[in-house]
Amino acid sequence: MKDLQQNQCSKHQSFEDSLKIIDQIAISMLATLNRLPRRSIVVAELFLRLMYLLILLLGTLSTTSNAATAAFSSSKGPVYKANTIRSATNRLTTTQIASTQDGANDESVIKPTVIVAGATGYIGRAVVQESVRQGYHTVALVRDANKVLYGDQQSSFQQYFDGAKVVQCDVTDPQQLETRFQEIAATCPVTSSHGGTKKDVVIVSCLASRSGVKRDAYKIDYEASLNCLHAGQAIKAKQYVLLSAFCVAKPKLYFQRAKLKLERAIVEQQRESTEGMTYSIVRPTAFYKSLSGKLDNLLNETPYVLFGNGELTRCNPIAERDLADFMLGCIHDKERQNQILNVGGPDEPTTNKQQALLLSEIVQKEPKFVYIPTGILDFLVNTFQWLGTITNSEKLQNGAEIARIIKYYAEEDMLTTKPNEIYGSMTLRQHFEKIVAEGQEYDPYVAIYTRGGKSSQVPSPPIQSDPSSPTSTTTSAAKQATIKV
């Protein structure tokens, strides 16, 4: 019996070692992809997938005991590794498009135009950067082009927007949005093969309300994204990819109801018309940046607020680049089309307190905690709502809604454990190590500052633009920005 257990352990270790080797092969391939011809990339992808399937099959055949099976099902076993490798092979597939930068000379490569709405947001800018990297003709819709091109955060935007066309547009104005879409469609490159004239356009909406209160939620989470849907229909766009939220599965808040209303509209337009856009609705569990406020607390030695005992909820957030890669993967992955997709990162489920302790270990500072009972939130909700009702004050009612939002996230898990809903390779530890080493840009909604503090104001030359015609401005050797007002 002892020999049998040792043999099983040996097989388990051998299986794990084999997966690590495949993982390293994937990383090595990805590092050299841009230097490979397209045909070699196809061969590389096929080799990687065959090796992955072979190792997975051998590992399954070699594990016969329940103990071994249980070990393999853990988040640190093959389920985690398989999804990490699957993420790498997906990056390999999408990079086939990026590897042919002279797509105009290769009619076999189909490169749709990707229009990113909400491009200046945390996930939006990551989608823009990843879209450019993968070789798509990328258009970033922004509310204020001055902010992107000349503002005090220009340097941080530039790293994401190099290679993209920046178009200023008010997404809450349906007429202006449709006009911009028509202009983009008229100038986007032909995507069909063998000399055709078809122009495929994919819309990726990363729009999200900042506050989540009623007026803001329905204006942005519903109406603005719906405007993008209708504008896409007007130009016969190929696909609509929506950044939604995992939490809409348990709707208790205004922004969740607004997102659900939009999701229904997207699904219905596809079902009711043979010309409806293909859709992919992506519901991530959480973003790393939403957890990064802990760094500010530790560096300033201020207490970190925990509700209950700090372990009421768990989550497995996903890195912005991994999420951007997943969303853009919906363009070519038929299995992700006309689907609502939950997605979380590769970490084990962690509590709020565990996340703070992990960061304190990296920073090497002892954290300070303040524990607050969730009943306090009930008191705030009821008080603000009562005052808002009797005074008919929208601000007080918004205060009640913000308290509800805090209460929701203090009590609900943002967690998926299904293997097919785990994606990405960057762990929370790697993200924390990155922001500790490199700092993080200022965001008033997350209260994170760069290590040098908020960047100083850079004088910005005004953009003189004619409402009837675009003004082109070159911001770097690799980037041309089209400003529209």
Reported as a single tens digit per residue, the pLDDT across 251-296 is 999 999 999 999 999 999 988 877 789 999 999 999 888 777 778 7
Q: Kindly give, in sequence order, each residue whose CB lies less than 8 Å from that of residue 209, ignoring residues fewer than 6 positions away.
A: 216, 217, 219, 220, 221, 255, 258
Q: Which pairing describes strands 479-483 and 471-476: parallel, antiparallel, or unpaired?
A: antiparallel
pLDDT of 458 higher than 70: no
- Indicate the length of the chain as a whole number: 485
Higher pLDDT, 233 or 448: 233
The answer to whether the beta carbons of residues 71 and 10 sit under 8 Å apart is no
Q: Which pairing describes strands 201-205 and 113-117: parallel, antiparallel, or unpaired?
A: parallel
Neighbours of 293 (CB within 10 A): 16
Q: Which of 130, 123, 137 is nearest to 205 (CA)?
A: 123
Higher pLDDT, 151 or 82: 151
Over residues 76-93, the mean pLDDT reads 44
Residue written as token pair 């205004």: 254
pLDDT of 50 higher than 60: no
Q: What is the CA radius of gyration of the chain?
A: 24
Neighbours of 466 (CB within 10 A): 9
pLDDT, the chain, mean: 76
CA 459, CA 442: separation in Å to the nearest integer? 18
Longest Cα separation, the chain: 82
pLDDT of 471 higher than 50: no
Would you state the pLDDT for residue 367?
Answer: 87
Over residues 421-439, the mean pLDDT reads 91
Angle, CA 293 vertex, CA 289 and CA 297 arms, to 5°: 160
Over residues 151-160, the mean pLDDT reads 76
CA 69, CA 73: separation in Å to the nearest integer? 6
pLDDT tier for residue 48 given thresholds of 50, 70 and 90 = low
Each residue of 342-396: pLDDT tens digit?
A: 999 999 999 999 999 999 999 998 888 999 999 999 999 999 999 999 999 999 9
Residue written as token pair 């994170």: 448
pLDDT tier for residue 44 given thresholds of 50, 70 and 90 = low
Q: Residue 114, SS3?
A: strand
Q: How far apart are the first and last CA of the chain?
A: 76
